[in-house]
Amino acid sequence: MKKRSVGRAVLFTILVLFPAGLMGAQAPSSRPAEPPPPSLPRVFLDWPGADVAFFRTEIPFVEFVSGLEEAQVRVFVMPQGPPESEKFSLEFSGLKGFQGDDNTLPYVPDPGAKPEDVTRGIVGVVKIGLLRYAAKTPAAKDLSVRFLDQAKPTSVVDKWDFWVFSLSASTFLMGETQYRTELYSGSVSANRITPELKIQTSVYGNREDYWFDLGDGEIYESSSHGYGFSGLAVKSLSEHWSAGAFLSAKSSTYYNLKLSATIAPAVEYNVFPYDESTKRQFRILYRIGYTGTRYHEETIFFKTSEVLLQESLSWAYEVKRPWGTISLKLEGSHFFHDLSKNRVELSAEADVRIWKGLSFDLYGRYSRVRDQLGLPRGGASYEEVLLRQKQLATDYDYYISIGLNFTFGSTRSSVVNPRFGNGGRSISISM
């Protein structure tokens, strides 16, 4: 059966590609004329008596022209106010292809500035004002804008002292004639994040309900829920070190937890400075903490409640460079009362361009699980297993997704043609 399908797929490909081949052959005659690549923007400086040669040397990414007829941009320098406290208004008007692309920038010289300083200042503002036009020409790729200083992100006037509060709630309902599911979730959070101290707190809750009509009047219904609190406080000690604590409390029917509370101090070392974290980071985090738990059902270890000490160590390496992104994480933890109750988790993510149009992506996770202390003695029902509503006994769990993509052909393919849509809508919902 399978073989026949594939045979048809091949035949169909040939059928479909054939008319396409014809279209490709006809294409050159009806090919839309591409606009010729525009060179540098042509600018007319409307400031009688100006030293245009000085503007030319200072602003090399435009072409200064002598007449308004050939110009694409007109820069009109208009002095305002009395000569001793002179101000300038610089009007940029787009012409031809830039029609309607207008802007005005002010220039106020420092008190007592010499005439050459004023000219230099005006050139600086003209340069900045012309960037919007240059950005629309091929010159854009040869331009770069640099901030000469480093300003602290907290140098602002903030009456809330960086606290942000957030309330959110959402619900998702889905159904068919024989199947229904309902999800609800809500959270309240208060965060204060500054480079020196990070505080994140939130209270959340969620609930899931399922309903199945199994035929012959047989109905299966189930519900699961979870709620909790999570908090984190981190103090920055240096460019490489941080210290803080995790605080959490949660309840979950999936994990058989009536209430589980954790307090865990932790310390982190980043091999690279933290301010490079969007490009590369290698963080090593150690945490040790007490967890007090009360279970819904008696566990396979005959416990209904317990207080345990656990430690964990994790290595997280992440690099994002022009050739791609790689992130690796290894985490190990164990309980102190019984060292055989431990867990090792390895996860990896990569999205790498191997060669020109060839790229590779991978996401994988593997865990060796020896610490399922909360498994209920009663086990799970047949339906709970199939619907994955209860944690099951396992020694491992894994998830791997890999993809390979090869693209070749035209490199002038940045054309957008929205006709008949660009494929379907994709909706993703995650909890």
Partner 1 sequence: MRTSPGAAPLPALAMVLVLSLAAHSFAIQENQAGVEELKKTALKVYLDCDSCDLEYIKTEITFVNYVRDRLEAQVHILVTSQATGGGGVEYTLTFIGQNDLKGASDVQKSFSTKSDTDDDVRRGLVKTLKLGLMSFVGRTPISKRIAVDYAPPDKALPGRDRWNFWVFSLSGSGYFSGEESYNDHYLDFSISANRVTPGSKVRLGVSVDTSKTKYEIEDEIITGTKSSWAGSGLFVKSLGEHWSAGAYVEAESSLYRNIDLGMSVAPAVEYNFFPYSESTRRQLRALYKLALNPVKYREATVYGKMRETLLKEALSLTLDLREKWGTVSLSAAGSHYFHDLSKYRVDTFAYLSLRLYKGLSIYILGSQTWTHDQLSLVGRELTFEERLLRLRQLPTVSDYYFAFGFQFQFGSIFANVINPRFGSVGASGMQISVN
Interface of this chain with partner 1, residues 25 to 44, rule: CB under 8 A: 27-28, 30-32, 37
166 binds partner 1 (CB under 8 A): yes
Of 118, 249, 284, 285, the residue at the interface with partner 1 (CB under 8 A) is 285
> Least separation, in Å, of the C-beta of 42 and partner 1?
16
Contact range with partner 1 by CB under 8 A, out of 43-51, 65-73, 318-326, 333-341: 318-326
**What is the pattern of x (binds partner 1, CB under 8 A) and - over residues 123-162?**
-xx-xxx-xx-xxx-xxxxxxxxxxxxxxxxxxxxx-xxx
The CA distance from 215 to 213, in Å, is 6
The CA distance from 184 to 180, in Å, is 14
Q: Which is nearer to partner 1, 164 or 337 (CB)?
A: 164
The CA distance from 96 to 89, in Å, is 23
Q: Residue 46 is inside which H or E element, if any?
A: strand 42-46
The CA distance from 188 to 11, in Å, is 57
> Least separation, in Å, of the C-beta of 407 and partner 1?
4
How many residues of this chain bind partner 1 (CB under 8 A)? Answer: 175
Dihedral over Cα of 14, 16, 17, 22: its sign: positive
The CA distance from 55 to 124, in Å, is 9
> Least separation, in Å, of the C-beta of 214 and partner 1?
6
Residue with token string 């490909």: 13
Question: CB count, 10 Å around CB of 401?
Answer: 10
Of 54, 172, 286, 290, the residue at the interface with partner 1 (CB under 8 A) is 172
> Least separation, in Å, of the C-beta of 404 and partner 1?
5
Q: Which is nearer to partner 1, 309 or 392 (CB)?
A: 392
**What is the pattern of x (binds partner 1, CB under 8 A) and - over residues 52-91?**
--------xx------------------------------
Q: Partners of 294 in the beta sheet? A: 259, 305
Q: Which is nearer to partner 1, 65 or 232 (CB)?
A: 232
Q: Which is nearer to partner 1, 193 or 330 (CB)?
A: 193
Q: Annotate 165-205 with DSSP letters as a single string.
A: EEEEEEEEEEEETTEEEEEEEEEEEEEEE-SSEEEEEEEEE
**Residue 244 is which amino acid?**
G
Of 66, 80, 89, 103, the residue at the interface with partner 1 (CB under 8 A) is 103
The CA distance from 208 to 254, in Å, is 11
Contact range with partner 1 by CB under 8 A, out of 19-27, 47-55, 74-82, 332-340: 19-27
> Least separation, in Å, of the C-beta of 169 and partner 1?
6
Q: Tell which positions 338-397 bind partner 1, by CB under 8 A.
A: 351-353, 356-359, 382-383, 385-388, 392-397
Q: Tell which positions 191-250 bind partner 1, by CB under 8 A.
A: 191-195, 198, 200-202, 204, 206, 212, 214-215, 228, 230-232, 234, 236, 242, 244, 246, 248
Q: Which is nearer to partner 1, 163 or 305 (CB)?
A: 163
Contact range with partner 1 by CB under 8 A, out of 44-52, 298-306, 316-324, 334-342: 316-324
Tell me how far CA of residue 280 lies from CA of 43, 56, 272, 276, 394, in angstroms. 42, 40, 7, 6, 35
> Least separation, in Å, of the C-beta of 253 and partner 1?
16
Q: Which two tokens stand for residue 279?
A: 């490009």
The CA distance from 391 to 343, in Å, is 16
Tell me how far CA of residue 19 lies from CA of 12, 14, 22, 23, 409, in angstroms. 12, 9, 5, 6, 19
Q: Which is nearer to partner 1, 49 or 112 (CB)?
A: 112
Largest Cα–Cα distance in the chain?
95
